[in-house]
Structure 1
Amino acid sequence: MLATAVFQLSLRDASLTILFFSALCTTAPAFMGCGGYKTGLRQMIQARYSWGLYIVTILLVLNAATVTGFSIVAAIVSGQTIAAINPGNVSVSVGIVIVILASFVLSLLGYRFLHFWERWQWLPNLIVITITVGVGGKHLVNQQAVPPATASQVLSYAGLIAGYFITFGGTASDFSIYHDPKARLRKVFTYIYLGIFTPSVPLLILGAAMGGAVPVVPGWTEAYESYGTGGVMAAMLRPAGGFGKFVLALLALSVIGNIGISMYPVALNLQMLIPAFTKVPRFIFTLAVTALMIPLSIAASRAWEESLENFLAVIGYWAGFFDAVLIEEAVVFRRLDWESFIAVTWTRNP
């Protein structure tokens, strides 16, 4: 929604920027994920081969903060949506607490259950998003009139798109290590690439359409100012009455899988910080992150657009050079010789 609501791009220009920069920037995390199943090493363990045991601790903190930041974004949108179901009865802050605690419980159920959840959650999500667009999508053709896009507008928004996609490079191998190491590199690359690109682009374009319609469609401006994205979705579903509120509730809960699965690599990153942390049960770190996320999410929700724009702008810098260095290590120096990543070199702390 930032494309049209903040950067004042037309829907056409926003869509083209999303499409082309998403296609480009998804390449890096898809390639980095291939290193996980080939070496059996998680992403930030692989980073030790490029950065060393001590400097990589800085990147561990940045990566954990980035993944936590995306979880905060998801929690805020969910909290806004919960509050928009019955305006005045539940605050955005209460909605945020509900979804973060639910995600925490999900994260405790282990990787296998998380994988099962992620494997099937897309289906009800797709259904409720389709219903939302089917009910309120007729208004999306009403877009605000804006001047032709300038290069600075396009590149500024493209930087945010890049900041979103390339940060997957910090966690891709955490999940790809479960693949068969004998699988073809092109096959795994394609799976990871399409797994990130395919669901993201249509939703980003939908968000841009919603943002461009907010100033034009009666009632949407007030909904957006009160409850952000959740308010707009509530306005789209209002003609459906009680059924629309049910769909809105499902939309609000759809981010639980995003947050729950994000807590997995965050806990791993924190365990890698110092040798003593490897002996701490992982759920302790998950609990600490949960306790941190709640007040940060509530605070960030009070300045939603500014928080999101600043967060996306900042994370792109560190993620860009992080991805570049790891790809250079694998391609230029190791010539895609994955066996040269000798596991005992950096998997054990001194």
Structure 2
Amino acid sequence: MQSEKAPEPTSGTLSPSPAEQGTFEETHVTAVRATNRLQRYANRLDALVGIEARGIERVPPELRERKLALGDYFGIGVMWFSINCTANQMTLGVLGPVAYGLGLVDSMLLCTFGTIFGSACSGYIASFGPWSGNRTLVVARYSMGWWPSKICVILNWVIEIGYGLVDCLIAGLLLSAVNGHGMSPIVGIVVSALITWLVATFGIRWFHTFERWVAVPTVLVLFILIGVAGPDFDTSTPSSGSGATLAGNRLSYFFLTASGPLGWVPAAADFVVYYPENTSRVGMCFMTTAGMTLGKLLIEFLGIGLGSGLAANADWATAFEGSGVGALVVAGYAPLGNFGKVCAVVLALCVAANNIPGTYAAALNFQQLFTPLAKVPRPIWTTVAAVIYTVCAIAGRNHLLSIFLNFLGLIGYWVVIWIAMVVEDEFIFRRKTGFRWQDCSDSSKLPLGIAAFTSFLIGWAGAIVCMGQTYYYGPIARMVGEYGADLGLPVALAWTAICYPPLRMLELKFVGR
């Protein structure tokens, strides 16, 4: 197979502004060697106004050497808290009582442990960012091989575009509900998309700065919502169903809540590649897990509470049935009058905190797909991604709940398949040899990917026969209780974990790489 190589980065650095002194940005190297006219323009914009020019090119260790402080690790936790503590995550909470008939206590417990599991997986993958200097799905080449890893790239691109659609739609519905539905959700969709596009296009500096502060107004208005809507949460009604039916609903909701944070696994390292190589992997993993878990639980618990109160609060039920979660949030703030509407507007605008990293990662996915696409600078792909999900959000604005439920349930299947291979590759096959991160763009020095691709298909087969989605229930999934249960995620994980080691051993024996 012919070797493919990406251009090597330059060794220049950008001087930080006075406000950035003492933060991780001061050692950022965002310009790369210009191999075409577009990249030269991108480097000029980087130098003039700070638009990040670097895309999927590796950041060498010598360009990010510095002394780490405790605040650097704390900043990781704050970043992930901000990314996940946004109004769109409330939909996942509402689904517990509404879609699965679970009581408030059941929903909260399942949400907690499902979120911790998914967040820990993201934390593990995030630790590869400083260690390798590579973006997440460039790291995937070491376990999947050059060509099979592109399957992950395509699937992750779908995740990020899907989240962009949901994020913009939630913001649009919130702003429309605040206006009494006199304003079309399209206006809010476009506003949210523009905020996202601006920050994501400027890149990593603006991204980290935005995430560092956006959590403040979000948390303030959420605590106000807890105070005004909390008395109407239903804390006494138990979960509906019994026996295998109830167990199936609990399992389905657990794995659905795990799928939310699992969605960040294929992008988790993208935002920390500028951290020094000696960054503690344990510290990075822990702070990513903690920030993501706390951010998601705060907003999802609120969603669970609002969902539990639908049966007893006619105004909430009417709002939810008419316009979904956006209107439900506005109804929760209703006792506060115009001040409640202001709080809802703040929540709507802050949804961009969740969409910005997804748009940033989607732009990198374009570059990772084919070598010619890598020659187009990242800011251009950011624009393309924003246009795509904005158009999709406008087209699908009347079907949010079904879009979210069907889309989110599919995320976890392929992510846990890849996670299983990454863990086994590191701790079984590279325990002694380690990784040669500088070979990330040389396909001749990477695995051929036969074992990974075969294991990937086997894992998907397990997911298909055990998945439980509104549009399809596998034969095994249908056997659980009255309504079935979604068992695709643990089965996909188990089948992959069993098959990959022996297949990889055979690949190493007969192929040699």
Q: Same fold (TM over 0.5)?
A: yes
> C-alpha separation between the residues in 1 aligned to 2:343 and 2:126?
34
* Counterpart contact for 2:202–2:379, Cα < 8 Å: no
The structural deviation recorded for 1:10 is 0.7
Equivalent residue runs for 1:130-209 within 5 Å: 130-141=223-234, 146-148=239-241, 150-209=246-305
Equivalent residue runs for 1:299-338 within 5 Å: 299-335=395-431
Could you tell me which amino acid in structure 1 is paired with residue 326 of structure 2?
A: G
Residue 44, structure 1, aligned to residue 129, structure 2: no
Match of 1:344 among 429, 438, 456: 438
RMSD value, Cα: 1.8
Q: Per chain length, whose mean CA-contact separation is higher, i.e. which structure has more relative contact order (CA < 8 Å, sep 6+)?
A: 1
**Partner residue in 1 for 2:313:** 217
The structural deviation recorded for 1:209 is 1.1
Residue 113, structure 1, aligned to residue 206, structure 2: yes
Match of 1:98 among 191, 199, 208: 191
Aligned length: 348
* Counterpart contact for 1:140–1:209, Cα < 8 Å: yes
Equivalent residue runs for 1:10-29 within 5 Å: 10-29=103-122
Cα deviations across residues 256-285 of structure 1 (Å, max 9, x unaligned)? 122122111111111011111111121221
**Partner residue in 2 for 1:256:** 352
- Relative to structure 2, which stretch is displaced further, 39-48 or 183-192? 183-192
- Relative to structure 2, which stretch is displaced further, 148-157 or 110-119? 148-157
1 or 2, which has the higher helix percentage? Answer: 1
> C-alpha separation between the residues in 2 aligned to 1:34 and 1:78?
31
The structural deviation recorded for 1:76 is 1.5
> C-alpha separation between the residues in 2 aligned to 1:110 and 1:183?
22
1:26 alignment partner, SS class: helix
Identity %: 28
The structural deviation recorded for 1:101 is 2.1
Cα deviations across residues 173-218 of structure 1 (Å, max 9, x unaligned)? 1122222222332222211111211111222121111111122212
Could you tell me which amino acid in structure 2 is paired with residue 188 of structure 1?
A: M
1:174 alignment partner, SS class: coil
Could you tell me which amino acid in structure 2 is paired with residue 48 of structure 1?
A: R
Runs (5+) with no aligned partner, structure 2:
1-93, 445-513
**Partner residue in 1 for 2:102:** 9
> C-alpha separation between the residues in 1 aligned to 2:443 and 2:214?
37
Residue 71, structure 1, aligned to residue 71, structure 2: no
> C-alpha separation between the residues in 1 aligned to 2:95 and 2:328?
14
The structural deviation recorded for 1:145 is 5.9
1:219 alignment partner, SS class: helix
* Counterpart contact for 2:112–2:297, Cα < 8 Å: yes
* Counterpart contact for 1:267–1:285, Cα < 8 Å: yes
Equivalent residue runs for 1:45-64 within 5 Å: 45-64=138-157
What TM-score comes out, normalization by structure 1 length? Answer: 0.94
The structural deviation recorded for 1:53 is 1.2
> C-alpha separation between the residues in 2 aligned to 1:188 and 1:58?
27
Equivalent residue runs for 1:277-296 within 5 Å: 277-296=373-392
> C-alpha separation between the residues in 2 aligned to 1:254 and 1:342?
40
Could you tell me which amino acid in structure 2 is paired with residue 236 of structure 1?
A: G
* Counterpart contact for 1:125–1:251, Cα < 8 Å: yes
The structural deviation recorded for 1:71 is 2.1
If you compute each CA radius of gyration, which structure gives the higher value, 1 or 2? 2
Runs (5+) with no aligned partner, structure 1:
none
The structural deviation recorded for 1:114 is 0.9
Residue 85, structure 1, aligned to residue 178, structure 2: yes
Could you tell me which amino acid in structure 2 is paired with residue 307 of structure 1?
A: I
The structural deviation recorded for 1:122 is 0.7
The structural deviation recorded for 1:25 is 2.6
